[in-house]
Amino acid sequence: MSASLDRRRLVAGLAGFGLAGPAAAGPLVPTPGQTEGPFYPVTIPADHDHDLMRVEGAAARAMGTVLHLEGRVVDRWGRPVREALVEIWQCDAHGVYRHPRAPLQEMADPGFQGYGRTLPGPDGVYRFRTIRPVPYPGRTPHIHVAVVVPGTGRLVSQLYVEGEPLNERDPLFRAIRDPAARERVLMRLEDGSAIEPEALATRVDLVLDL
Ligand SMILES: [Fe+2]
């Protein structure tokens, strides 16, 4: 057994006694990698900021429930990874991706940006304003995410809604067998009305295997 595994077990044991708070954190379980899927943008759209609810020049904001997604990009020791670029992409409220090969393009919501990117602050915190993901045929609701760290690599994963009944039938979600790894990709949706009326909010840390 490796030293780091030993330590992980020790920390897990301590957690049971309430002794392992954030200050005593051991190695964190990394965010599991997932397939990129077929709908990563072919070309990055002109408007690719962190606010997917508004497209520059569009008459209306996106349809759907606003979700404020934020968290930290950290290494396995919880240290912020400042040089990371965080990207997300997802389908609109009708289940349509902004992608030339995605079905039902004629139904696409012109107000939804579909893709956004951001650089975390010095504390590693990233933020997006987007929609609560919706299902489309064959998939449970999810948000695609990628974290690029120059010289290190690219983590590609997907974020899911905690408690969503479709998760248990979704082959990609089910492929993450380790409960601790599953926990990394689950979004616990909470009332976000303190940020914006009728919005949801969630925090997901992206843990790089560094
Ligand atoms: Fe997808």
- Going from N- to C-terminal start, the domains of the chain cover 1-26, 31-207
Q: Which residues surround ligand 1, an ion (CB under 5 A)?
A: 37
Provide the pLDDT for residue 21: 41
Provide the pLDDT for residue 96: 98
Give 142 Cα–ligand 1 centroid separation in angstroms: 6
Provide the pLDDT for residue 25: 53
Give 35 Cα–ligand 1 centroid separation in angstroms: 9
Mean pLDDT for the stretch of residues 73-90: 96
Give 48 Cα–ligand 1 centroid separation in angstroms: 18
Mean pLDDT for the stretch of residues 18-43: 79
DSSP string across 66-78: EEEEEEEEE-TTS
Contact 90, 75 (CB under 8 A): no
Entry pTM: 0.88
Proportion of the chain above pLDDT 70, given as a percent: 88
pLDDT at 11 over 60: no
pLDDT band of residue 3 (cuts 50, 70, 90) is very low
| Amino acid in position 161 | V
Secondary-structure class of domain 31-207 per CATH: mainly beta
pLDDT at 165 over 60: yes
Highest mean pLDDT among 10-14, 151-155, 165-169: 165-169
pLDDT at 76 over 80: yes
In sequence order, which residues have a C-beta less than 8 Å from that of residue 72 and are 6 or more positions away?
Answer: 80, 120, 123, 124, 125, 126, 205, 206
Give 158 Cα–ligand 1 centroid separation in angstroms: 8
Residue 146's H or E segment, with its range, is strand 142-149
Average of per-residue pLDDT values in the chain: 90
Tokens of 154: 């690219």
